[in-house]
Amino acid sequence: MRENTSTEWKGVTLVLMGALLFSAKAVIVKLTYRYEISAIGSLFFRMLFAFPFLVWIAWKAEKEEGKTILTKKDVIQVILMGVVGYYLASLFDFLGLKYISAGLERIILFIYPTLVVILSFLFLKKKIHLREVFSLVLTYTGVFLAYGQDVQLGSAKEVSLGAFFILLSALTYAIYLMGSGSIIPKLGAKKYTAWALIISSFAVFIHYAIFGSYKELIQPFSFYALAFVMGTVNTVIPAIFVSEGIKRVGSKTAAIVGSVGPMSTLFLAYWLLDEPITILHSIGTLFVLTGVFWISAAKKSKEVSV
């Protein structure tokens, strides 16, 4: 009994730490933008520092779990999902953070489970139930409250452009999740995630080689330190923590614990970036968290009943 309780607490702690570190990424990205760096330049350095660790994780998973035989179709699917789910989603995210606050970015990104439901309805003909409809209304009301507050505090044009990019990021990540369901059981979650991130890293490197400015490669040491933190502390380490945490407590509990992400981003952005925390930001975040939690809980209960 004590051993089970200890395992659960370790799992909760790991997921919590992972969620906090993941959510801090937006704040670190905003800090890198205080230097002469473009969105693709900041993303390039993130993946550059993360890359060696990703290769190590993939190698270790291959060694522990054994070699997986994949068909040509499976390989193409992994490549496509790596490009869509991490390269495009990250690129849109970094572009959006040029224009909006870190707090609003995290709120919009957090709606990806609702986008999975909407895409499933549009393209897979899955029904949307009354509880899910209410969750969608609550979630997007929260997004519009937070968006409206940011428009009042800044430029409507810039906030709208940034919000559009972040919405694209959430959409591409939702597509990634939908397209990953069939390949994860074959490859394993850890191995699949590592390979998807490695593929996205190559996509980022190619993008930067073609369109990036080589002048951006020369930066002060303080920038390299931030980029290292972004690539390791905010990318690799939380991925490991969340993965290990889910093993101990399951995905449903992990989703509940991980919901601290948007709130922690608001407080970190207030502390490190001087972004204001208003009543509308707080209410909007609460609406989004509640809506996403309800829609995720409904999805989980359906999966169990099946």
Domain that residue 19 falls in: 8-297
In a domain, 303, yes or no: no
pLDDT at 302: 39
pLDDT tens for residues 260-302? 888 888 899 999 999 988 898 889 999 998 998 888 766 553 3
pLDDT-flagged residues of the chain (< 70): 1-5, 251-252, 254-255, 297-306
In a domain, 39, yes or no: yes
In a domain, 2, yes or no: no
In a domain, 250, yes or no: yes
pLDDT at 33: 97
pLDDT at 229: 96
In a domain, 304, yes or no: no
In a domain, 186, yes or no: yes
Residue 302 CA to residue 52 CA, distance in Å, equals 39
pLDDT at 193: 85
pTM, entire model: 0.90
In SS3 terms, the chain reads as: CHHHHHHHHHHHHHHHHHHHHHHCHHHHHHHHCCCCCCHHHHHHHHHHHHHHHHHHHHHHHHHHHCCCCCCHHHHHHHHHHHHHHHHHHHHHHHHHCCCCCHHHHHHHHCCHHHHHHHHHHHHCCCCCCHHHHHHHHHHHHHHHHHHHHHHHHCCHHHHHHHHHHHHHHHHHHHHHHHHHCCCHHHHCHHHHHHHHHHHHHHHHHHHHHHHCCHHHHCCCHHHHHHHHHHHHHHHHHHHHHHHHHHHHHCHHHHHHHHCCHHHHHHHHHHHHHCCCCCHHHHHHHHHHHHHHHHHHHHHHHHHHHC
In a domain, 306, yes or no: no
pLDDT at 306: 30
pLDDT at 192: 86
pLDDT at 45: 98
pLDDT at 51: 96
Domains identified in the chain, total number: 1
